[in-house]
Amino acid sequence: MIIIKHIDKIEEILAQKKSNGKTIGFVPTMGALHAGHISLIEKSKSENDFTVCSIFVNPTQFNNAIDLQKYPITIEKDIDQLELAVCDILFLPSTAEMYVEGEKNEHYNLGMLETILEGKYRPGHFQGVCIIVDKLLKAVNPNTLYLGEKDYQQCMVIKKMMASKNYDVVLKVCETVRENDELAMSSRNIRLNKNERIAALKIIETLKFIKSEIKPGKLDKIKSTATNLLTENGYKVDYTEIADAETLELIDYWDGDKKLVALVAAYLNDIRLIDNLIL
């Protein structure tokens, strides 16, 4: 695996590959890699001539400075995992490389996606995600971008940003990879202690409760019962919501027809966990 730290270098190498007719798959990450990330690398490898993974802990998407400070950094292990997965290129830029001093950040029109769920509870987060993914896509210029469905709203935001910028890149959203007990894999899971790891299962249990109990009609009761399931188990809940799976419009009354997704974000002590389930 080649490790590249500079934008001009990665642009040069990948432009050459593309001009030779090679396809490029791209997996952007913030490191602390787990089997979910590796499954994206494997998918990209099976569909492209070249696979690029980026590791960059993007400061502009952290609306909370402590969250950024506590973000796990495991670069040596990450490199080992990427080598094992036979990833072709790791793009590992510095903050100064991605954010040139004095450069004004672009603003993206994300509509209601920015005002609900993660957008509501993490103001500015999706602007930061779009800024960095836009810069990464310009540098890598992939044929296909691979993202995990665990960040359901992020996938929709990036899709919207890519459409607004006319990127000629296919977005593939890949199923969430789960531990044997169904906890969604996440870089933040490293921070869970033994008791928190057990309690973390309440998130998927709550989502499954919604899936099994949902009926056409008003959804306020099922949402509040689901929230209670989490608060009773020590969580501070940001949201327990049900939304249109295509648009993410929040749904209070279900016609029994529309495809829905249930989404949860909640804190276990100071660790924020998110997950979702198509209903």
Residues forming the site for ligand PAF (CB under 6 A): 28-30, 58, 61, 129, 132-133, 151, 154
**Bridge-partner residues for 25, per DSSP?**
51, 144
Return the structure tokens found at 224.
């509040």
Taking the complex as a whole, the smallest distance from the CB of residue 232 to ligand PAF amounts, in Å, to 30
| Beta carbon of residue 130, minimum distance to ligand PAF (angstroms, whole number) | 9
Compute φ and ψ for 20, nearest 5 degrees.
-90, 10
Q: Which is nearer to ligand PAF, 123 or 217 (CB)?
A: 123
Name residues whose C-beta falls within 8 Å of residue 140's C-beta, 6 or more positions apart in sequence: 10, 14, 24, 26, 52, 54, 91
- Report whether 235 contacts 204 (CB < 8 A): no
- Measured CA to CA, the distance from residue 97 to residue 93 in angstroms comes to 6
Question: Toward ligand PAF, which CB reaches closer, 108 or 254?
Answer: 108
Give me the least distance between CB of 134 and ligand PAF, in Å please. 10
C-beta of 113 vs 229, nearer to ligand PAF = 113
Identify the burial level of 224 via C-beta atoms within 10 angstroms of its C-beta, where 0-12 means exposed, 13-18 middle and 19 or more buried: exposed
Residues acting as catalytic residues: 37
> Which lies closer to ligand PAF via its Cβ, residue 29 or residue 144?
29
Q: Nearest approach, Cβ of 184 to ligand PAF (angstroms)?
A: 13
What is the closest distance, in whole angstroms, from the C-beta atom of residue 132 to ligand PAF in the complex?
Answer: 5
Cα–Cα dist 210/206, whole Å: 6
Q: Output 72 or 217, the one with its CB closest to ligand PAF.
A: 72
Nearer to ligand PAF, 129 or 185 (CB): 129
Shortest spacing between CB 32 and ligand PAF, in angstroms: 9
